[in-house]
Amino acid sequence: MSFTIWFTGLSGSGKTTLSRLLFRELKCRSLKAELLDGDIIRTNFSQELGFTKKDRDINVRRIGFVSYLLAKNDVISVVAAIAPYRETREQNRKLIDSYVEVHCNCPLETAERRDVKGLYARARAGEIPNFTGISDPYEEPVAPEIVVNTDKESVSESLGKILCYLEEKGFVPMAHECQMIPFTEDDEFQWKNDLARLGFARAVGPGRSK
Amino acid sequence: MSFTIWFTGLSGSGKTTLSRLLFRELKCRSLKAELLDGDIIRTNFSQELGFTKKDRDINVRRIGFVSYLLAKNDVISVVAAIAPYRETREQNRKLIDSYVEVHCNCPLETAERRDVKGLYARARAGEIPNFTGISDPYEEPVAPEIVVNTDKESVSESLGKILCYLEEKGFVPMAHECQMIPFTEDDEFQWKNDLARLGFARAVGPGRSK
């Protein structure tokens, strides 16, 4: 059964980490899945877009449209993208049949302290305009299917919570019922390499996303 | 076995007609396929793009990227998009594993005489700049997998040629080996309706494509 699972939350809230681990777990359970990371989508689909509300909305809808196409063909989409505006997220929910929203909930201070990509420092210094959480709003989900509190839970705890939900809803088979296959290939890097080799996309370095 | 089949050719050369019929035939043969029409992709992915060489190239690469994602997940893409520049088509060929190019070959005079959307008349009147065949080049494929001469062949003849190729290469099973299922839903209209209903895209009326 196909579904789309969308990790939304501030930069540094754990979206990429959790989405990659979930993606790997789904592949191990022999499911068809695609990892749609905001950075990669921006590079390949939306290189002309900036970070105004309008541009962010276009980008989030585009990811929604790709998920819709994949879902129609029984492929699971695992999306990691800030998607800061509630209304746009709700539009995707309406478009996509089985839509699971995961709110990576984490106080701004924690995300800012992590500052994995050094973006918060630059945003505070005024070098990056329209930065979610600093100079642009993040509208928290009102009724997400899953909330993970990434400042309090371990990564395994959050991942476990997500998998339990998906199993309970019948979206994924229980681990012990699957023929587990090792999955070592990092699909995302595969993409990046494929695309970079062909001059399709510049290498995705530390940068802004979503 | 998954593949991408790309119908390239002038506006009015028969791309949409043939792609729709092929798509329907693939669905009847119980294959997973998606119809990617230049108009729909423009509306949903590329509403900000114009018709300069740069913008056309971005659009064609985007369609290529969607096809690549679908192909990775064993879904056939049937693409109908002018894709006027040879180099950009070749980039998609490199990205996508099994890429079948169909040149909808038809003299400009014939396409112009058909003028299904009334665009040639407007282009001749100078109302539409960068119009392929009139004020923008169409670089014919050098070694397409299939050429259909839509000014000389009937639609069934062209479609038969395409299906023969796909069967011979093992891309699709022979008709008599398939459990043929009736397929009446027009997937493209389904899209349009879904999307329009949700305010995702304006209705796609007669307009410019690709």
Q: Flag whether pLDDT at B199 surpasses 80.
A: no
Alpha-carbon gap, residue B93 to B142, rounded angstroms: 13
Average of per-residue pLDDT values in chain B: 86
pLDDT number for residue A184: 62
Across the interface, which of B58, B72, B200 has its CB nearest the CB of A91?
B200
Percent share of chain B, pLDDT over 90:
61
Map residue B200 onto helix, strand or coil: coil
- Residue B84 phi/psi, 5° resolution? -75, -20
Q: Do A73 and B69 touch (CB under 8 A)?
A: no
pLDDT number for residue B187: 57
Region of poorest pLDDT, from A186-195, B63-72, B157-166: A186-195
Q: Flag whether pLDDT at B206 surpasses 70.
A: no
Residues 6+ apart with CB under 8 A from A102: A5, A6, A7, A8, A18, A144, A145, A146, A147, A148, A162
Which position has the token pair 């009102």? A142
Facing residues of B100 across strands?
A: B5
Can you give the pLDDT of all 210 residues of chain A as single tens digits? Answer: 699 999 999 999 999 999 999 998 998 888 999 999 887 777 777 677 788 888 888 889 889 989 999 998 999 999 999 999 999 999 999 989 899 999 999 999 999 999 888 999 999 999 999 999 999 999 999 999 999 999 999 999 999 999 999 999 999 998 888 777 776 655 556 666 666 665 554 433 434 544
Which position has the token pair 């695609």? A34
- b/e sequence B144-181, b meaning 16+ C-beta within 10 Å: bbbbbbbbebeeeebbebbbebbeeeebbeeeeeeeee
**Interchain contact A54–B (C-beta under 8 A):** no
**Interchain contact B176–A (C-beta under 8 A):** no
pLDDT number for residue B202: 45
Facing residues of A146 across strands?
A: A102
Residue A200's closest CA among B63, B100, B74, B81? Answer: B63
Looking at CATH, the fold of the domain delimited by A4-108+138-197 is given as Rossmann fold (3.40.50)
To probe the interface with A, which of B44, B58, B89, B94 has the most A CB atoms within 10 Å?
A: B44
Looking at CATH, the fold of the domain delimited by B4-197 is given as Rossmann fold (3.40.50)
pLDDT number for residue A122: 94
pLDDT number for residue B49: 79
Determine the distance in angstroms separating the CA of B153 from the nearest CA of chain A, rounded to an integer.
33
Q: Flag whether pLDDT at B148 surpasses 70.
A: yes
Region of poorest pLDDT, from A28-37, A75-84, B121-130, B194-203: B194-203
Q: Flag whether pLDDT at B140 surpasses 50.
A: yes
β-strand pairing of B146-149 with A146-149: unpaired
DSSP letter string, A35-77: EEEHHHHHHHH-TT--SSHHHHHHHHHHHHHHHHHHHHTT-EE
**Residue B96: what residue type?**
I
pLDDT number for residue A97: 87
**Residue A102: what residue type?**
V
Q: Which two tokens stand for residue B109?
A: 């005079």
Residue B28's closest CA among B176, B183, B147? Answer: B183
Provide the pLDDT confidence category of residue B205 given band limits of 50, 70 and 90.
very low
pLDDT number for residue B204: 40
Q: Give the DSSP H or E segment for B161.
A: helix B155-168
Which positions in chain A touch B198 (Cβ < 8 Å)? Answer: 91, 94-95
Q: Per residue in B20-61, pLDDT tens?
A: 999 988 988 889 999 998 877 777 776 777 888 888 888 898
Q: Do A199 and B91 touch (CB under 8 A)?
A: yes
Determine the distance in angstroms separating the CA of B3 from the nearest CA of chain A, rounded to an integer.
15
**Interchain contact A95–B (C-beta under 8 A):** yes
DSSP secondary structure code for residue B8 in this structure: E
pLDDT number for residue A209: 44
Sign for the CA dihedral angle at B21, B25, B30, B33 comes to negative
- Give CA separation, B48 vs A2, A48, A55, in Å: 31, 9, 10
pLDDT number for residue B50: 81
